[in-house]
Amino acid sequence: MPIETRLSPDLHANASTEALESAMVEIRNLSLWYGEKQALKNISMDVPKNRITAYIGPSGCGKTTLLRCLNRMNDLVDGVRTSGTIRIGGTDIQDSALDVTELRKRVGMVFQKSNPFPKSIYENAAYGPRILGASDRRELDQIVERSLRGAALWDEVKDRLNDSALGLSGGQQQRLCIARAIAVEPDVLLMDEPCSALDPIATAKIEELMIGLKRRYTIVIVTHNMQQAARVSDITGFMLMGELVEIGATRDLFTNPKDRRTEDYITGRFG
Amino acid sequence: MSRFWKSGDPFIWLTAGGLAFSLLMVAGLILLILANGLGFFWPKDVVLLVMDDKTAVMGQVMDREEIPQPGAPPETPKKYRIQVKQGNRDIYGQDFTWVDESRIARRERPDDAIVIERREWGNFVGTLREVREDGRPVAGGGDDGWNALEARLPQAARLLAEIRRIEKTEIGAVNHAQEKIRLNLKKLSAQGRGEGPEAARLKAELGALQTGYAEMETALGAAKKKDTTSVVAAAVGGQEKELPLTQVVRAYRPNAMGSGAKAAFYAAKVWEFVADAPRESNTEGGVFPAIFGTVMMVMIMSLVATPLGVLAAFYLREYAQQGPFVSAVRIAVNNLAGVPSIVFGVFGVGFFVYFVGGSLDRLFYPESLPTPTFGTGGILWASLTLALLTLPVVIVATEEGLAAIPGGLREASLALGATKFETTWRIVLPAVMPSILTGLILAMARAAGEVAPLMITGVVKLAPALPLDSFWPFLHMDRKFMHLGFHIYDVGFQSPNVDAARPMVFTTTLLLLGIVLVLNLAAIVLRNRLRKKYALGTL
């Protein structure tokens, strides 16, 4: 994918100090309205491959909405309109002819509240592959083991794969949701405040897991927690009232913010 | 005072009082049914009441009540009368009589008093005189005769079973085959092929069947000839009756029975009640056809109402654009549950029986017209009517279940690339299963207890055959059937012999309650199992 050649110069300057990375997701002039209310205002940015990109910002700033544009989960909400383009791996995902289920197979998602299916641990991990048509038991066994290992859950659950997923602890449930998402080998993994309901120890486990996962996946995370963004992400974007105020390498954004509003937010003057 | 109100104690008392009152009412109802229903089969002693005018009444005491004395001064001693089941309807004209207690000179409990349950004319109460074979006495009265009678009853029962078998199974099968051929012939002649080779073949078959029929008639006659044993018993007035043993259901001497024998008798009567067909215009025998009809109707109703209601609820909750129209539909569905059931019955008659059934008859069964096949009440139409009646219950329960499924589950599935249908099928449907079963439980309870719409869509007082038998197509959806709820109404209010039938009201009610309980328990066990499997946790 020769995407780097098409990167616009200003975005280059803005996006990353590690130049010439290949962008997995390109967002151009994206605006979104819920009915009359504009929730995203003319957002343009790139998400580089095999990096963790974090969005921070106060509640209601549109970061979750932006995230949900990337797998078109906003389609499920009545009265949503968008303009602009989003390309993932070069494909325009706003195209109405695009099969949205194909898109979602390539863009996995982990939600704020852990939401394992009321099925066994095994069936949770095997759900995506089954949807894709896998039915061979041996193949499924392998996928389940691989994805549970990938989510650092295998050792804890390997003896009770047929127990209900709802018997797991909150942190385990969230890791199972991650395992479920990576079982279909997506290109991009979206995480919507994945640790907001977890205790610090479970949070630390998931953060560690994310850093390991970025070798294989491009991760976009929305978080309330600035420390978390600082700890795990390579690139951080600050959003405020539907605008992407600033985006850059995480270290730069936190130590040397260019915009006044970013500085106010990260120094705790509001939010 | 205000502190007292604020403490909330009065409210707790009020809520507890409400619960206690409701429980008391239900417990009272069930106790009444249990008390009246369970005692009915226990064999009561036979008493001989000799009156002051030397006449005598013999029978089982059923009831005792005060004789009202209007206008009498308050200090007048109370007077009572007792109800005696004297039997011998063929002699006295009625089974029951009231006896003024003040007129009784002497009460006796004769050990040799015998009660003979007959297939016709109700019980015979009296004393045993003779047991006869081929008209010749083989034993006299007393213990001798009793032993001879007891020894011969099983054989008489076998003989009767043989006669019944020939009549019902064999001759019934021939009748069935003949009827089918006749209908085919009628069909052929309606098509103008009444004289063709096919018709000739059918006529030949008919002739062959006729020969077989004659043979069976001979066998039946032979079997009936064997019915030569009889018993002679005398009523209290001295009138003697000779009864062929095949007319005797059972004979017992209650005054000579110990507790063990009475318990065995009780068990036999209960079994007869549950497993046998009714006799004597439903006042004797059992209610098996009604149990069978009730259960089968509820099953057919469930098979129709559940899928239909679930599909409707899925559309309303999962696919329809929520708005004023859907809200209106929802309100309409809820209100449908409040429509009087007889209205559903009238609709069932008009639509299912006359329109659908009539059309089916014209299309598929023109040869039997004007005798209707489906164009008259039957178990299918009754079940469909009840399915309509219970549909709102299933829809509402399923919709509530769907609303309770966390949106996160659906999103999680969609985000994995599942289509809406895959999400519905693999995630939503299993999760809503317990709610569907809750709806089904409520629907079954309502359907099993419903009477009014059934009376006009296919329930009868006495159905000649079960809707399920050994003749193809085995399941006869066009047949009329018996139903426990209607049976209660029938024995309680429509019986020619009210006194004999009244206790059946309670026993039948008890049975109906038991069946509803069993059906519900089965569904509850299933639901709990599913709940465990698909527990939704606290999402």
Strands A188-192 and A218-222, sheet pairing: parallel
Q: Helices A170-182 and A200-213, interaxial angle, to 10°? A: 20
Whose structure tokens read 């009793």? B146
d(CA B233, CA B243): 8
Tokens of B95: 């089974």
Q: How many CB atoms lie within 10 A of CB B16?
A: 10
d(CA B338, CA B334): 8
Q: Give how many domains chain A has, as a whole number.
A: 1
Assigned superfamily of B292-533 = MetI-like (1.10.3720.10)
Phi, psi of B311 (to 5 degrees): -60, -45
d(CA A100, CA A106): 10
> Is the pLDDT assigned to residue A93 strictly greater than 70?
yes
Long-range contacts of B356-360 (CB under 8 A, 24+ apart): B356/B381, B357/B381
Chain mean position to CA B171:
27
Which residue ranges in chain B fall short of pLDDT 70? 534-539
pLDDT tens by residue, B106-144: 888 888 889 999 988 888 998 888 888 888 888 887 888
Residue from the list A113, A164, A166 with its beta carbon closest to the beta carbon of B408: A113
d(CA B86, CA B60): 7
Judging contacts by C-beta atoms under 8 Å, the chain B residues touching residue A71 are 415
d(CA B423, CA B409): 9
For B328-397, give the secondary structure using H, E and C. Answer: HHHHHHHHHCCCCHHHHHHHHHHHHHHHHHHHHHHHHCHHHCCCCCCCCCCHHHHHHHHHHHHHHHHHHH
At A4 the pLDDT is 39
In a 3-state reduction of DSSP, which class is residue A144? helix
ipTM: 0.86
Task: Report how far apart, in Å, the C-alpha atoms of B370 and of each of B159, B187, B361, B382, B481 are.
Answer: 39, 13, 9, 22, 21
What average pLDDT score do residues A234-239 get?
Answer: 92
pLDDT tens by residue, A10-62: 433 444 444 446 788 999 999 999 988 999 999 999 999 899 999 998 888 88
Interior/surface letters B489-528, b for 16+ CB within 10 angstroms, e for the rest: bbbbeebebebbbbbbbbbbbbbbbebbeebbeebeeebe
Question: Closest Cα of chain B to A91: distance in Å?
Answer: 17
Which residues of A have a CB under 8 Å from any CB of B?
71, 73, 76, 101-105, 108-109, 111, 113, 115-119, 127-128, 131-132, 164, 166, 177, 180-181, 184
Are the beta carbons of A111 and B412 separated by less than 8 Å?
A: yes
Tokens of B276: 């046998």
Are the beta carbons of B416 and A108 separated by less than 8 Å?
A: yes
Lowest mean pLDDT among A76-90, A118-132, B365-379: B365-379
Which CATH number fits the domain that encloses residue A123? 3.40.50.300
Strand order through the sheet with B46-51: B96-100, B80-85, B56-66, B46-51, B104-108
Chain mean position to CA B387:
20
* Helix count and strand count (H, E) for chain B: 18, 13
d(CA B454, CA B301): 12
Contacts A–B by Cβ distance under 8 A? 71
For B318, the closest chain A residue by CA position comes to A76
Q: What ranges do the domains of chain B cover?
A: 48-108, 132-257, 292-533
d(CA B83, CA B89): 15
Query: Which of A186, A3, A22 lies closest to A91 in space, CA to CA?
Result: A3
The dihedral through the CA atoms of B136, B142, B143, B146 has a sign that is positive
Containing structural domain, residue A116: 15-266
Taking the CA atoms of residue B233, residue B234, residue B235 and residue B237 in that order, the dihedral angle to the nearest 10 degrees is 170
Residues A193 and A224 sit within 8 Å (Cβ to Cβ) = yes
At B534 the pLDDT is 67
Instruction: Classify residue A181: in a domain, yes or no.
Output: yes
In a 3-state reduction of DSSP, which class is residue A260? helix
Instruction: Classify residue A110: in a domain, yes or no.
Output: yes
Whose structure tokens read 């791996």? A89
Question: Closest Cα of chain A to B23: distance in Å?
Answer: 37
First-to-last CA distance in chain A?
A: 39
- Residue B21 sits at the vertex; the CA angle it makes with B16 and B25, to the nearest 5 degrees, is 150
Amino acid at A75: D
d(CA B347, CA B335): 16
Instruction: Classify residue A28: in a domain, yes or no.
Output: yes
Residues B264 and B485 sit within 8 Å (Cβ to Cβ) = no
Q: Indicate the pLDDT class of residue A148, thresholds 50, 70 and 90.
A: very high
Instruction: Classify residue A4: in a domain, yes or no.
Output: no
Are the beta carbons of B415 and A118 separated by less than 8 Å?
A: no
Mutation pick from A69, A74, A93, A104 vs chain B, by most beta carbons of B within 10 Å, is A104
Residues counted in chain B: 539
For B204-236, give the secondary structure using H, E and C. Answer: HHHHHHHHHHHHHHHHHHHHHHCCCEEEEEECC
Residues A171 and A90 sit within 8 Å (Cβ to Cβ) = no
Mutation pick from B326, B413, B414, B416 vs chain A, by most beta carbons of A within 10 Å, is B416
Query: Which of B170, B184, B183 lies closest to B213 in space, CA to CA?
Result: B170
Residues B348 and B457 sit within 8 Å (Cβ to Cβ) = yes
Instruction: Classify residue A131: in a domain, yes or no.
Output: yes
For residue A270, count CB atoms less than 10 angstroms from its CB and return exposed for 0-12, middle for 13-18, buried for 19 or more.
exposed
Task: Report how far apart, in Å, the C-alpha atoms of B491 and of each of A115, B384, B414, B484, B514 are.
Answer: 58, 26, 59, 10, 19
At B536 the pLDDT is 53
At B196 the pLDDT is 76
Residues A157 and B526 sit within 8 Å (Cβ to Cβ) = no
d(CA B200, CA B178): 14
Residue from the list A105, A111, A166 with its beta carbon closest to the beta carbon of B537: A166
Phi, psi of B451 (to 5 degrees): -125, -50
Tokens of A217: 């996946």
Tell me if chain A has a CB within 8 Å of the CB of B417.
yes
At B215 the pLDDT is 84
Judging contacts by C-beta atoms under 8 Å, the chain B residues touching residue A180 are 412, 416
pTM score, whole prediction? 0.81
Q: How many CB atoms lie within 10 A of CB A66?
A: 27
d(CA A190, CA B184): 72
Phi, psi of A90 (to 5 degrees): 90, -10
